[in-house]
C-alpha cells in the first residue's frame, strides 16, 4: 500500500501538493472558525452571569460575585471541551478518517479511565452541583468534618479550600465533602448556655438578659450585626449545683462568635452590679472539699 502511495506522489506531485495545501488551509480555517466561536461563547457566558449577578443584587437577593465568576468559569471550561471535541471530529471527517472506529476505541478507553478516575469524576460533578445549588460560598464558614472546619477561601470544580482558626489551609476534594454544615448561610444565631445559682431570682435574671439584649441591639456599634436581640429562651436544666438557661439571638452570618463574646462581657458586668454570682467558684470549693474528705477517709 505504501509503495503505491509513494509511486502516486512521485508520478503526480502537483496534485498531491495541492491536496496537502487544500487540507492544511481547510484545517486552519476550521481552527480559526472554532476560535472565533469560542471567543463568542465565552463572551456570552461572561455577560450572562454578569447580568444575572447585577439583576439579583438589584432585586435585593443574596448575590456573591465570586460565586457567579466561578460558575462562569465552569461553563467556559465545559464549552471549551465541547468545541474542542466537535472541531476534532470535523477535521477527521474532512481528512476522510473513519472516526466511528476511533470513537468506539475511545469509548472503551474512556470507560477504563472513568473507572480508574471515578473519584475525580465525582469531584467534578459534586463541585458543579455545589456551585449551581449555591450550597456554600467563598467567605462562608463550613464544617466538612470535625477535622476540617474553617472559612471558605476558594471553590473549584474539584476542591474546596478552607482556612481554619489556626491559619492552616485545608484542600478537600468534593467527593469527600459528603455532608457539609454551613455555619454562616444568610444568617446565624448567637446562642450559648449560662449557669446561675439556685438562690438567684429567675424572673429577675430573665429581665436583665432581655434588657441587655435590647440595649445591645440599639448600640450603634452592634445594631448592624444584630438582626434580632439576644434574649432568654428557656430554662434548660437544673441540678444540685446550678440552673442552666439558654440565651439566643439572630445575627448577621459569621458574627455569632463576636456578638456572643461581647454580650457575655456585658452580662458579667450587669450580673456583678445586681449581685448575681455564677456558681463556678462554689462548685470548685465543694469539689475541693469533697476531694479532701475522701483523702482523709482513705487515711
pLDDT tens digits, 185-230:
778 888 888 888 888 888 898 999 999 999 999 988 898 999 999 9
Domain span at residue 238 reads: 188-283
Contacts of residue 52, Cβ cutoff 8 Å, sequence gap at least 6: 68
Crossing angle of helices 99-116 and 118-133, rounded to 10°: 90
Tell me, yes or no, whether 199 and 264 share the same domain: yes
Tell me, yes or no, whether 159 and 225 share the same domain: no
The answer to whether position 44 is within a domain reads: yes
> pTM higher than 0.95, yes or no?
no
The answer to whether position 126 is within a domain reads: no
> Residue 169 belongs to a domain with what CATH number?
2.30.30.60
How much is the pLDDT for 290? 42
Tell me, yes or no, whether 160 and 204 share the same domain: no
pLDDT beyond 60 at 233: yes
Please provide the average confidence, as pLDDT, over all residues in the chain. 78
Crossing angle of helices 13-58 and 2-11, rounded to 10°: 100
pLDDT beyond 80 at 292: no
Tell me, yes or no, whether 174 and 192 share the same domain: no
The answer to whether position 127 is within a domain reads: no
DSSP per residue over 252-279, as a string? Answer: -TT-HHHHHHHHHHHHHHHHHHTTPPPT
pLDDT beyond 70 at 97: no
How much is the pLDDT for 40? 93
Q: How many domains does the chain have?
A: 3
> Residue 204 belongs to a domain with what CATH number?
3.30.70.100
The answer to whether position 295 is within a domain reads: no
Q: What is the mean pLDDT of residues 96-110?
A: 61
Helix (H) or strand (E) holding 2: helix 2-11
Tell me, yes or no, whether 112 and 139 share the same domain: no
The answer to whether position 289 is within a domain reads: no
Amino acid at each position: 500500500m505504501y509503495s503505491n502511495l509513494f509511486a502516486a506522489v512521485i508520478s503526480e506531485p502537483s496534485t498531491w501538493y495541492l491536496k496537502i495545501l487544500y487540507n492544511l488551509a481547510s484545517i486552519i480555517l476550521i481552527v480559526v472558525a472554532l476560535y472565533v466561536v469560542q471567543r463568542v461563547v465565552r463572551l456570552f457566558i461572561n455577560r450572562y452571569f454578569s447580568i444575572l449577578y447585577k439583576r439579583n443584587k438589584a432585586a435585593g437577593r443574596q448575590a456573591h460575585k465570586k460565586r457567579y465568576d466561578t460558575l462562569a468559569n465552569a461553563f467556559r471550561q465545559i464549552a471549551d471541551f465541547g468545541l474542542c471535541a466537535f472541531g476534532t471530529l470535523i477535521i477527521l471527517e474532512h481528512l476522510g478518517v473513519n472516526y466511528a472506529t476511533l470513537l468506539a476505541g475511545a469509548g472503551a478507553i474512556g470507560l477504563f479511565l472513568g473507572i480508574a478516575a471515578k473519584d475525580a469524576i465525582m469531584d467534578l460533578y459534586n463541585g458543579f452541583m455545589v456551585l449551581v445549588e449555591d450550597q456554600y460560598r467563598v467567605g462562608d464558614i463550613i464544617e466538612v468534618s470535625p477535622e476540617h472546619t474553617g472559612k471558605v477561601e476558594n471553590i473549584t470544580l474539584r476542591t474546596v479550600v478552607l482556612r481554619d482558626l489556626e491559619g492552616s489551609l485545608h484542600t478537600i476534594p468534593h467527593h469527600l465533602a459528603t455532608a457539609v454544615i454551613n455555619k454562616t448561610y444568610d444568617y446565624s444565631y448567637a446562642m450559648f448556655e449560662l449557669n446561675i445559682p439556685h438562690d438567684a431570682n429567675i424572673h429577675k435574671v430573665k429581665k436583665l438578659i432581655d434588657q441587655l439584649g435590647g440595649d445591645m441591639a440599639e448600640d450603634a456599634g452592634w445594631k448592624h450585626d444584630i438582626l434580632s436581640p439576644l434574649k432568654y429562651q428557656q430554662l434548660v436544666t437544673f441540678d444540685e449545683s446550678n440552673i442552666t438557661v439558654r440565651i439566643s439571638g439572630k445575627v448577621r452570618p459569621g458574627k455569632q462568635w463576636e456578638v456572643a463574646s461581647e454580650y457575655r462581657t456585658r452580662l458579667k458586668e450587669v450580673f456583678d452590679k445586681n449581685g448575681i454570682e455564677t456558681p463556678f467558684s462554689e462548685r470548685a470549693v465543694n469539689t475541693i472539699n469533697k476531694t479532701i474528705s475522701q483523702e482523709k477517709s482513705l487515711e
